Amino acid sequence: MTIARVGFVGLGIMGEAMARNLLMAGFELTIWNRTQARCDALLGEGARKAPSPAAVAAASEVTVSCVTDSPDVREVALGPGGVIEGAAPGTSYVDCSTISPSAAREVAAALSVRGVGMLDAPVSGGDVGARAGTLAIMAGGPDDVFQRCLPVLQAMGETIVRVGEAGAGQVVKLCNQVAAGLNLLAMAEAISLARRAGVDPAKMIEVVGAGAAGSWMLSNLGPRALGDDFAPGFMVELMQKDLRLVLESASETHTPLPGTALVHEIFRLIEARGRGREGTQSIVDALRILAGDR
């Protein structure tokens, strides 16, 4: 069955760009956001606005959401005026937020009772990947729902993998955040050492980024940090939320994650200075503070 009508709930830094790519792919798009002004740009580009997530779902064959945390997903999916109240049996719900695996399973089970299939499909790639439509998408849920929703996912991402049943997408996203956090710390430490040893950190990034120690963080966020550009592609406070979920999962599974715990604590230094809404590249400044250079 060809999907024509798609809904989108949550138009933040990531969500607006993802929704725009759905429009550009030719889907009929219905949108909702808690702050209605966030809808204006997409309405000017051809999207339609609905008064609630339930109304979005009622107008859509596949409804996508991208919101902040587990309580937000529960609210837009299962709360009053939520997706569950408008989605027809046989339609699908795809949540691209980063939430706890248990919350994803809870929402999937509730929707399944109504005949609505769900994928927990968190994304990685930041604002750059969201705009370019090159996100990595890790999906958990039934294979038939995944296959049905694949054209929608392909409009937003480039690497799209079904990683297991309900909740598995969130587990893989937490693994992604472990690697992301440690790469951020590696970037910050490399820049800190170069600076304090009297070497141009931009030159260091140029050559190290081209070798075996290179990373997306080093090549993309390193130069921004060097220019004191801390505008968020992904905010510190959201990274901290994700790392909290990681450490909760680690506790539940008795998994030692000492590096991740350290990254979480270092970001507390940025938050303590009122900079939680800056981009995660501000971890470079945390190392400068620790070194006495700020």
Whole-angstrom distance between the N-terminal and C-terminal Cα of the chain? 58
Told to judge if 173 belongs to the known catalytic residues of this protein, a careful annotator would answer yes
Question: What are the Cα distances from residue 230, in Å, to 17, 78, 259?
Answer: 20, 35, 23
170 Cβ contact list (under 8 Å, min separation 6): 98, 99, 100, 101, 103, 104, 120, 122, 140
Rounded to whole angstroms, the Cα distance separating 272 from 238 reads 15
Quick one: tokens of 215?
């990373």
Catalytic residue among 49, 173, 203, 241: 173
Rounded to whole angstroms, the Cα distance separating 9 from 42 reads 12
Asked whether 126 and 234 are in contact (CB, 8 A), the reply is yes
Rounded to whole angstroms, the Cα distance separating 240 from 234 reads 11
Catalytic residues, by residue number, are 173
